[in-house]
Structure 1
Amino acid sequence: MPDPAADVAGVVLAGGLGRRMGDGDKCLRPLGGQPLIAHVIARARPQVATLLLNVNDSASAAELSRFGLPIAPDVVTGFAGPLAGILTAMRWAQASAPSCRWLASFAADTPFLPLDLVERLRAAVADDSARDGAAIACAASGGRSHPVIALWPVALADDLEAAVTVENIRKIDAWTARYAVRHVSFAIEAGDDPFFNVNTPQDLTRAAERLTAADRSNACRQKR
Structure 2
Amino acid sequence: MATAPRFLFWSTLFWTGLFLIAIQRADSKPWLRSPVYLAALALPVLMFPQHYKTGVARRWGMSLAESAAMSLVNETKGEQMTKVLFRDPSQIYHVAPQLRARRLDMFTDGLQDWIGLSETNLFGGRHKPERLTGDCSVTALVQGDDGLEAARVIGQASTKENSIPERLVIVDPTGVVRGVARSSTMSSIINRVFYLDKFSQFSRNPRATGNGFVGYIRDYNPQFQYAVRSADDETLSEEKIPVRVPIAKATKL
Q: TM-score, normalised by structure 2?
A: 0.26
Structure with bigger RCO (C-alpha 8 Å, 6+ apart)? 1
Bigger CA radius of gyration: 2
Q: TM-score, normalised by structure 1?
A: 0.29
